[in-house]
């Protein structure tokens, strides 16, 4: 498989997976915007890398894939999406790595009527849109899993620390929506910006509140900052982390502070430990083995797996759309949108997607496992 990297004035690069510098009329064109630089790079780079594992064609149609860097900036993600729609005439958009960027792309997708596979969690007003479909586990699904675990662990009160953006808001909103069902009370709430290098003040306030547990609403390496600081400041209760924190970089940065943490995670982080016959094991192993063969042992992330899952969906949806229209037309984009919405189930590494007209989240409890860290490794909690 040949790849050519072309410099783009919109930042970053255009990756021609088909090996062609120009697009034939029948090519299926995919626009991918990810944060391969900036504060979201730890999430975005695995997404960008995972594009390299994609096939060169589907159902005999060549794939023309354009990858742009949005640097974690939603305004750049918007610019990239508009380029995809207006200049590249893409058939589907994918991205971004961060929630604000995905919200931005969703807005352009709705305006231009192009199917969009969001690679990060988004709020309900976005996920309910006609043209956007969500790849990560919904915040509600993750929250229910974590809150149930807290309840089972005897937690009554918890403190919260999360990003001061829409990703951090997701988890507070989930608590407001369903926390009472699990007998939970949030007695302290702190926020910090993604680029921050210290959360000492916030940690001290949380420790002083004496919660039974602490929930961290952050992602990537940024989730390790409050984890390590809380332990340094003497907090000994259980810390719960969302799926956004489940990376080997988190373990590396947090060190011993990562031990005994409870994470909600996608199953792709531990496919080897899943029982035979599990609905996600085959796709999970396929992705992990291919990714780590190319990029090194222990480099898997569930963020990159969203790109694998996007392709698992498109492999099945594109042939259905081709029965109705040719790529490069609005008729094809509409047919592809309909195929994504109605063509499931789509078995994938992070779950089994089955979208519906009133459900663009598409995942159920098969998409979540509970993990902890022991001896520097993630371990499945039975």
pLDDT (tens, 9 = 90+) of the chain, 382 residues, equals: 333 333 333 334 444 444 333 444 469 999 999 999 997 888 899 999 999 999 999 999 999 999 999 999 999 999 999 999 999 999 999 999 988 999 999 999 999 999 999 999 888 899 999 999 999 998 889 999 999 999 999 999 999 999 999 889 989 999 999 999 999 999 999 999 999 999 999 999 999 999 999 999 998 889 999 999 999 999 999 999 998 899 888 999 999 999 999 999 999 999 999 999 999 999 999 999 999 999 999 899 888 999 999 999 999 999 999 999 999 999 999 999 999 999 999 999 999 999 999 999 999 999 999 999 998 889 999 7
Report how far residue 31's alpha carbon sits from residue 17's, in angstroms, rounded to the nearest whole number. 12
Same fold for the pair 5-137+284-364 and 139-265 = yes
Residue 133 in tokens: 């479909």
SS3 of 111, please?
Answer: helix
End-to-end CA distance of the chain: 41
Report how far residue 168's alpha carbon sits from residue 190's, in angstroms, rounded to the nearest whole number. 10
Phi and psi at residue 281, in whole multiples of 5°? Answer: -65, -45
139-265, superfamily in CATH?
Response regulator (3.40.50.2300)
Report how far residue 363's alpha carbon sits from residue 152's, in angstroms, rounded to the nearest whole number. 23
Residue 6 in tokens: 């072309």
**Taking the CB of residue 153, how many other CB atoms lie within 10 A of it?**
12
Sign, CA torsion 217/223/229/231:
positive
Nearest to 135 by CA among 68, 47, 71: 47
The CATH fold assigned to 5-137+284-364 is Rossmann fold (3.40.50)
Domain boundaries, the chain: 5-137+284-364, 139-265
SS3 of 370, please?
Answer: strand
């Amino acid at each position: 498989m040949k790849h050519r990297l072309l410099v783009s004035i919109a930042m970053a690069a255009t990756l021609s997976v088909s090996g062609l510098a120009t697009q034939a009329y029948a090519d299926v064109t995919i626009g991918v915007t990810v944060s391969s630089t900036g504060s979201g790079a730890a999430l975005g780079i695995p997404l960008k890398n995972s594009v390299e594992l994609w096939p060169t064609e589907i159902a005999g149609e060549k794939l023309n894939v354009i990858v742009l860097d949005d640097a974690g900036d939603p305004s750049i993600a918007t610019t990239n999406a508009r380029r995809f729609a207006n200049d590249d005439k893409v058939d589907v958009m994918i991205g971004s790595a961060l929630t604000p960027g995905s919200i931005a792309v969703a807005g352009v997708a709705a305006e231009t009527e192009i199917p969009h596979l969001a690679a990060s969690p988004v709020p309900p007003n976005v996920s309910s849109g006609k043209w956007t479909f969500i790849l990560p586990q919904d915040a509600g699904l993750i929250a229910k899993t974590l809150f149930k675990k807290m309840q089972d662990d005897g937690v009554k009160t918890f403190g919260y620390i999360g990003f001061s953006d829409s990703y951090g808001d997701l988890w507070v909103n989930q608590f407001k929506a369903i926390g009472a069902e699990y007998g939970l009370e949030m007695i302290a709430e702190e926020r910090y910006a993604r680029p921050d290098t210290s959360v000492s003040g916030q940690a001290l306030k949380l420790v002083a509140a004496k919660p039974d547990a602490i929930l961290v609403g952050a992602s990537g390496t940024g989730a390790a900052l409050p984890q390590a600081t809380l332990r340094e400041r003497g907090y000994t209760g259980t810390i719960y982390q969302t799926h956004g924190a489940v990376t080997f970089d988190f373990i590396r940065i947090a060190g011993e502070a990562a031990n005994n943490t409870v994470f909600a995670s996608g199953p792709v982080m531990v496919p080897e430990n899943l029982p035979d016959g599990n609905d996600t094991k085959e796709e999970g192993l396929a992705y992990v083995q291919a990714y780590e063969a190319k990029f090194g042992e222990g480099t898997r992330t569930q963020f990159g797996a969203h790109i694998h899952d996007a392709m698992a969906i498109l492999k099945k949806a594109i042939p259905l759309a081709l029965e109705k229209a040719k790529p490069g037309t609005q008729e094809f984009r509409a047919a592809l949108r309909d195929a994504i919405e109605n063509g499931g189930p789509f078995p994938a590494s992070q779950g089994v997607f089955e979208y519906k007209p009133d459900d663009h989240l598409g995942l159920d409890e098969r998409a979540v496992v509970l993990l902890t860290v022991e001896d520097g490794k993630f371990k499945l909690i039975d």
